[in-house]
Amino acid sequence: MIRNAFKMKLKAGFEAEYQKRHDEIWPELASELTKAGVSDYSIFLDEENLTLFAVQKLTDDNSGDLLPENPIVKKWWSYMADIMEVNPDNSPVSIPLKEVFHQS
């Protein structure tokens, strides 16, 4: 199992909307994440600076690298683009984080 963490940035004033959209995550998106080997996926919000911190587990044989090409993922990115910092293709600006400690 691989642990993966990254950060993203929420635009000011969209905290409640971000929460609402994730409370109503599309079943087809959740299914695609599971099929790609993503599990135990959480996103936390630092309300002081609007940084989103995401952590997920990936199976050793995951296909997470293929998710950016998935039409459902692309549709979700477009749906979220108005409330997050995004790249030109609407993917969230995502910065990988280095694990420096883990206790299981």
Tell me the catalytic residues: 22
How far, in Å, CA of 85 to CA of 30, rounded?
22
Token digits for 83? 């409330």
Concatenating the DSSP letter of every residue in 26-70 gives -HHHHHHHHHTTEEEEEEEEETTTTEEEEEEEE-TT--GGGGGG-
H or E, element range at 22: helix 15-23
How far, in Å, CA of 45 to CA of 80, rounded?
15
